[in-house]
Amino acid sequence: MDASDLSHDSPAVGTGFFEIPGNPAPDDARAGFLTARDGRKIRYALFDTRVRPLKGTVILLAGRNECIEKYFETIGDLAARGFAVATLDWRGQGASDRLLRNPAKGYVEDFQDYVLDLEQFFAEIVLPDCRGPFSVLGHSTGGLVALLASPAMINRIQRMVLCVPLLALAGFPLPMTSVRRVSAFLYSLGLGTIYLGRGPRPRETPPFEGNVLTSDPARYRRNALIYETHPGLAVGGPTVAWIHAACRASERVQQPEFLARMRIPILLIAAGADAVVSTPAIEAYARRLKTASVLTIDGARHEILQEADFFREQLLAAFDAFVPGGEW
């Protein structure tokens, strides 16, 4: 499924974006599609900044079941700091092509597919059209993809800020190794496309009270309205195949031989009240990775970039200190 297939959905005329009141596309923006090696259409967007001097370009990597529109506010924050932004919808979500007949299922065969899409995006779109230096800001799944890609990006990316990278699940009754074994068994039975953990997206957005993503009611409602207005951008729960791929990717980036190949300076941001991704796993990973440091933002929930100002400002201050722009 691509943007033209979104049921009773259409982007705002001339923008290529799916807007809602209170969440307009930033100025100086354009969206497009690249054709991946397997023929899938991957939506991307580039956002310029009028602030000078230009500090470079941030490659923004979203999490699972997120879309470009969810990050308009963050893109504006980066533009105000003098950064251009390049971002994309991962295959299988947002307005990029879906991978199953049922477009609501979160699915991918291998996280390496995400890495290959990112590398193609960088080579075909970012390098020709964006000014360096280049840095990465990733969230959750996007953080894990960035870690997977980092050995091949040593001479391209100067620094990475990875918010709550998906290294292990929080509060899950089984460790990731057991989750991998269970998902591998189900996958071997031909059940890779069934939901695992959560099912279809509910018809109505769950109430703010009790959500584990953000403590900010206004941002929670804004994000819900994006998907209520443009339901074709959303996906439901992850499938067996997606979970199995995530487990294998998490194990790979934690292997000693993989850690030894990582050279890019990385700031890992953990959320002290994260009920989705394991904060202790992120802190332990930082201790093993020589090029990494970690900041835990006490009280923050999983979606730190969608959190209350008190938490977002801590993250942005850390970003400012770590990614000053220009020549490092």
Structure confidence by residue, pLDDT tens digits, 15-55: 689 999 999 999 899 999 999 999 999 999 999 999 999 99
Summarize pLDDT for 271-321 with one digit per residue, the tens: 999 999 999 999 999 999 999 999 999 999 999 999 999 999 999 999 999
| Residue 58: strand, helix, or coil | strand
Contacts of 205 (CB under 8 A, 6+ apart): 224, 227, 228
Q: Report the distance separating Cα 103 and Cα 93, nearest Å.
A: 8
% residues pLDDT > 90 (the chain): 87
Where exactly are the structural domains of the chain? 3-322
Q: Within its chain, how far is the Cα of 69 from the centroid?
A: 12
pTM of the model: 0.94
Q: What is the pLDDT of residue 15?
A: 66
Phi, psi dihedrals of residue 138, rounded to the nearest 5°: -120, 150
- H helices within 62-101, ranges in order? 72-80
Q: Are 247 and 180 in contact (CB under 8 A)?
A: yes
E-assigned strand segments in the chain: 29-35, 41-47, 56-61, 83-88, 134-139, 157-163, 266-271, 292-297
The CATH class that applies to domain 3-322 reads alpha beta
Tokens of 236: 């439901």
| Torsional class of 197: left (φ above 0), alpha (ψ -120 to 50), beta (otherwise) | left
CA nearest to 141, candidates 243, 227, 225, 212: 243
Residue 242: Cβ-neighbour burial (10 angstroms; 0-12, 13-18, 19+): buried
> Is pLDDT at 199 greater than 90 in this prediction?
no
